[in-house]
Copies of this chain bind each other. A is one copy, B any other.
Amino acid sequence: MTKATDGKRIGASERTLDILTFLGEAGHATVTEVADRLDAAKSTTHYHLKTLEDAEFVVRTDGGYRVSLNFLTMGHELVSRMGVYQVGKPKVDRVARETGELCILMVEEHGYGYYVYDNRGEGAVNFDTTGNRKRLHDNALGKAVLANLSTERVDEIVERHGLPATTAQTITDRTALDAELETARDEGVAFDREEQLDGLCCVAAPIRSTHASGSDPVEAALSVAVPASRARDDYFNEELPHVVSDAANLVELELQEY
């Protein structure tokens, strides 16, 4: 197990939060649906939902419930307060403008990679981004992050989320992943050659943050995504890696002055 067994939790709140996540995934559900799903009495579920509605975390619509738009607002505020975002955004914008490609800023959390900001240049690929949550093993951003985490944390993450494949190229083997991370450490950048999505290739560089009191030093990464057709030769193997690690480095430096 990861860490969940020790200490005491609050049962009632756990239920409420379970309902929230369930509603988030399902999108829309009725009281009875939720009650069935959580193995709770309809009445109990009712009280939970009323509490959630009161606190404006949930909304009634079309004879049922869904999560509130507060999530959008809170997420937006959270991101705009993050240091990595503040100093990273202008860099992403510049890279997107100069390369004409799609440029993304990712932050690690709970073993996932969250797309926190993106900007697409002229001829950029069309690929859904900001707000998305991705696994770390199947894309350049994620691997750039993993490469700079301690082996214990990598173990923990792999154990928790597994190594599911989304294309034929996805790395699904742990030792292969370790080798990949090793070279990523050496080169300072990580690559993704259609491992996440057919036809999509990426280069990413890690953003190591220093104040890093406790845990690990890396928590973010910056990437450029290009269509596979442009993922060749010096452009993809030399030029873009330079651009990306340059930008990431700038972010790291600016981050040190809070």
Contacts and interface: CB of A to CB of B under 8 A. Distances in A.
Interface of A: 4, 7-18, 20-21, 24, 27, 47-48, 50-52, 54-57, 59-60, 62-63, 66-79, 81, 107, 109-110, 114, 116, 130-133, 211, 213-214
A75 B81 contact: no
A141 to B, nearest CB: 14
A193 to B, nearest CB: 26
Given A68-B109, A72-B78, 19 more contacts: A7-B47, A9-B47, A9-B50, A9-B54, A10-B16, A13-B15, A14-B51, A16-B16, A16-B17, A17-B57, A24-B74, A27-B78, A56-B110, A59-B110, A68-B110, A69-B107, A69-B114, A69-B133, A76-B130
Contacts of A79: 69, 72
Contacts of A109: 59, 68-69
A77 B131 contact: yes
A71 B47 CA distance: 23
Given A54-B4, A74-B71, A13 B107 contact: no
A73 B20 CA distance: 13
Contacts of A133: 69-70, 73
A114 B63 CA distance: 22
B73 A73 contact: no
Contact of A76 (B16, B17, B75): B75
